[in-house]
Amino acid sequence: MPPIAKAEASFVPELTGVDSTPPAISVHELRAHCLNCSVRELCLPVGLTADGMKQVDGLIAHRTRLKKNQTLYRAGESFHALYAIRVGSLKATLVAEDGREQVAGFHLPGEILGFDGVGTGHHEAAAIALEDTEVCVLPFANVQGLARGMPALQQNLHQIMSKEIVRDQGMMMLLGSMSAEQRVAVFLLNLSDRHRRRGYSSTEFLLRMTREELGSYLGLKFETVSRQFSRLQEGGLVQLEGRRVKVLDPIALRRLAGQHN
């Protein structure tokens, strides 16, 4: 696989019985391997042996390629697998009571989606490609089976699911208590942080979604989103060139969003 992101964490190989445990993979080997792995969130940051790493690699059943606007799975479909984004990006959508499509989230390269189906056995949202996208398919039964014998992998699964819950809670707070300007600022900061954690630039990136899709996610009208971007640019906080965003003053952007650290 081509590189997706830089490894950020420090890794400590497992130290167990010399005779019974396969040789631990070195820090250098692990980092080099993880640079090329689209499912690294399942196993990192943990201390895996070389054999453990191979087992995690073996979770990938196949890859699926999607054209822009093609659906990976629909709301109500049976849940069978998790999906690691190798290339591209997707949006998660729900159908509102009045029949309107509501954007519930955006997923970037290196992220894993599909957790919405774990609890009920059916996907709660649809996943639609924002651009030409390729995902690695991880059958959930295989993931669970491997996790039972690999505590570190199981712990990371729980951590990823916990992050999803926290993200949903943050979205509820975003829509319920913040001004339009704050919502856009928080979104840009969140996107910046997600790029940083994957080794990409945190100050310059592309918005893969349209203004309409972003407005749906933030609970704002298209015109309001465009107006807020213009205000941020006029204030010297960001620079906009089409869909490319350059964060010029992250401190001021955090202050605007009510994030003081």
CATH number where 136 lies: 2.60.120.10
Distance between CA atoms of 131 and 154, rounded to whole angstroms?
A: 31
CA angle, residues 216, 220, 224, in degrees to nearest 5: 130
Mean pLDDT of 210-233: 95
Identify the bridge partners of residue 241 per DSSP, sorted by sequence position.
Answer: 244
Judge whether 158 lies within some domain: no
pLDDT confidence band for 6 (50 / 70 / 90): very low
In this predicted structure, what is the pLDDT of residue 72?
97
CATH code at position 242: 1.10.10.10
Judge whether 36 lies within some domain: no
Distance between CA atoms of 47 and 98, rounded to whole angstroms?
A: 49
Judge whether 227 lies within some domain: yes
CA angle, residues 229, 232, 234, in degrees to nearest 5: 105
- 68 plus 134 within the same structural domain: yes
Tell me the pLDDT tens digit for each residue of 240-261: 999 999 999 999 999 998 876 5
Distance between CA atoms of 261 and 248, rounded to whole angstroms?
A: 17
Distance between CA atoms of 245 and 233, rounded to whole angstroms?
A: 10
Query: Into how many domains does the chain fold?
Result: 2
Distance between CA atoms of 108 and 196, rounded to whole angstroms?
A: 12
Distance between CA atoms of 73 and 140, rounded to whole angstroms?
A: 15
**pLDDT above 80: residue 115:** yes
Identify the bridge partners of residue 244 per DSSP, sorted by sequence position.
Answer: 206, 241
Distance between CA atoms of 192 and 245, rounded to whole angstroms?
A: 10
Distance between CA atoms of 247 and 24, rounded to whole angstroms?
A: 41
- 71 plus 135 within the same structural domain: yes
Q: Taking the mean position of all CA atoms in its chain, how far away is CA 141?
A: 21
pLDDT confidence band for 151 (50 / 70 / 90): confident
Judge whether 191 lies within some domain: yes
Distance between CA atoms of 177 and 16, rounded to whole angstroms?
A: 50
Judge whether 41 lies within some domain: no
Mean pLDDT of 172-188: 86
Lowest mean pLDDT among 121-125, 146-150, 165-169, 223-227: 165-169
Mean pLDDT of 216-241: 95
Domain region containing 115: 62-140
Better-predicted residue by pLDDT, 116 or 55: 116
pLDDT confidence band for 132 (50 / 70 / 90): very high
Judge whether 238 lies within some domain: yes
- 189 plus 248 within the same structural domain: yes
Judge whether 188 lies within some domain: yes
Average of per-residue pLDDT values in the chain: 80
**pLDDT above 70: residue 16:** no
pLDDT confidence band for 189 (50 / 70 / 90): very high
Strand stretches in 142-261, DSSP E: 204-206, 238-241, 244-247
pTM of the model: 0.79
Tell me the pLDDT tens digit for each residue of 20-70: 333 333 434 434 445 556 566 665 445 556 677 777 777 777 889 999 999
Q: Strand order of the sheet with strand 238-241? A: 204-206, 244-247, 238-241
Structural domain ending residue among the three candidates 140, 160, 194: 140
For 109, half-sphere exposure in the C-beta direction (CA atoms, 13 angstrom radius) is 24
- 252 plus 182 within the same structural domain: yes
pLDDT confidence band for 2 (50 / 70 / 90): very low
Q: Give the DSSP H/E element, type plus range, for residue 88.
A: none
How many of the other CB atoms lie within 10 Å of CB of 175? 13
Structural domain ending residue among the three candidates 125, 140, 155: 140
In this predicted structure, what is the pLDDT of residue 7?
30
- 190 plus 246 within the same structural domain: yes
Judge whether 197 lies within some domain: yes
